[in-house]
Amino acid sequence: MSILLDERSRVLVLGITGRQARTHLTYMRKYGTHVVAGVAPGRGGQEVEGIGVYETVRGAVAEHVVDIAVLFVPGSGARDAALEAIDSRIPLVVVLAEGVPHHDTALLLREARRRGVRLVGPNSQGMISPGKAKLGGTGGAFPERMFLRGPVGIVSRSGGMGGEIGSALTRLGIGQSTYVSIGGDLLIGSAFADLLPLYEQDPETHCVVLFGEPGTGHEEQAAELIRQKRITKPLVAFVCGEALEKLPRGMSFGHTSSIIARGLGSPVRKKQLLREAGALVAERFTDIPQLVRQTLR
C-alpha cells in the first residue's frame, strides 16, 4: 500500500498544455502515473500525448472519474484553478505553484475544508509512491535513481531536501513507501499532523522521516501527536535553520514561513519537543540514514 497515490490513482492535470506540464507529464506517465485527462482553458478538444484536453474541470469530471488533480498553474492563477477542482469535489488537489498570495491560499483552505477535499501545497514539489506513480516534479526525469520501493515514509517542507533524503536512503538500499512534499509556504493545506496519521495506518510504512524548517508550529503539532501516542511508528526528524535564531527578530531567509516570532518556530524548540515526545532527532543531515536503519532493526 501507500498513502494518497498509487498506480491506480486517476489523475487530472490542470494547465496541461504549458511547457512545465508537458515536460513532467512525460515523466509521470513513463513512471506509471495514470493520467486520465487535462484541463486548459481555450484549448479544449486538443490532445497532449494522447491525453484529452478539456476547457474546464467540470467538463473533465463529467467524462472521467478523477481521484487527484495536480496543478501546473502559476501562482497568479492557482486560486481559480484549485477552486474549480475543489468545487468538483476531487478528493485530492495538489498545488505546485509558489508565490500564491496568502489570501488566495486562505480561501482555498476554507473551501477545501468545507467540501471535504484534501489540499497539498501550495509550493509543493509533488509526491511519489516509489515503483507506482509520481506527481509534479518529484524525482525529475529519472525518479528510479532517487527513490526505491520500501518501508520508509518521507514528509518534508522542502521538496529538494525531501528528494535528498530519498536519495540518501536509496544509496543504502533502504526503500520508501510514499514521499510527500507538503510545501514551504506560511499557509499550506496538509501539514505534518495531517499526514502522519495516514502513515500510521499504512501497513507498508514502518517508520517515517520528517524534514522540518524554522517558522510555523507544524513540527510542534507533530511532536504532540507522538506524545499523545496517536503516532506510534518510529519517527526520525531533522529540523534545519538554527542559524536563523541568531538573526534580528522578524528576518527570514528561504521559505515564506520561516519567520521565528513570539516564541513560535524556533528550530531548537522544535527539536526539543520532538525529542521529548520520543522521536529520533538527527543533528546532522548525514545522521538520518543511520537513524532510519536503527529503527528498522
| Pairing relationship of beta strands 10-14 and 133-136 according to DSSP bridges | unpaired
Domain housing 24 = 1-123
Task: Evaluate whether residue 134 is within a structural domain.
Answer: no
C-alpha–C-alpha distance, residues 170 and 178, integer Å: 13
| Helical H segments across 154-262, by residue range | 159-171, 192-201, 218-227
- Active-site residue, 206 included: no
Q: Which helix (H) or strand (E) holds 81?
A: helix 75-87
Q: Which helix (H) or strand (E) holds 69?
A: strand 68-71
- The CATH code of the domain that includes 83 is 3.40.50.720
Q: Among 23-32, 151-160, 256-265, 280-289, which is the least confidently predicted range? A: 256-265
Task: Evaluate whether residue 22 is within a structural domain.
Answer: yes
Residues 6+ apart with CB under 8 A from 169: 148, 150, 152, 175, 176, 209, 288, 289, 292
Task: Evaluate whether residue 136 is within a structural domain.
Answer: no
Task: Evaluate whether residue 140 is within a structural domain.
Answer: no
Residue tagged 488537489 (cell numbers): 93
Task: Evaluate whether residue 177 is within a structural domain.
Answer: yes
Residue tagged 489523475 (cell numbers): 11
Radius of gyration for the chain, computed over Cα atoms and rounded to the nearest angstrom: 19
Set 34, 103, 206, 255: catalytic member: 255
Q: Tell me, what DSSP letter sits at residue 169?
A: H
**In angstroms, what CA-CA distances link 71 with 22, 57, 102, 122?**
12, 11, 17, 10
> To the nearest whole number, what is the mean pLDDT of the chain?
95
Comparing 16 with 249, the larger pLDDT belongs to: 16
pLDDT over 90 at 293, yes or no: yes
Task: Evaluate whether residue 286 is within a structural domain.
Answer: yes
Residue type, 175: G
Number of domains composing the chain: 2
pLDDT over 90 at 250, yes or no: no
- The pLDDT value recorded for residue 2 is 87
Mean pLDDT confidence for 222-226: 98
- 185 and 277 co-located in one domain: yes
The grid coordinates listed for 122 are 501550495
By the 10 Å C-beta count (0-12 exposed, 13-18 middle, 19+ buried), 164 is classed as middle
- The pLDDT value recorded for residue 187 is 96
C-alpha–C-alpha distance, residues 122 and 107, integer Å: 12
The separation between the first and the last C-alpha atoms of the chain, rounded to the nearest angstrom, is: 21
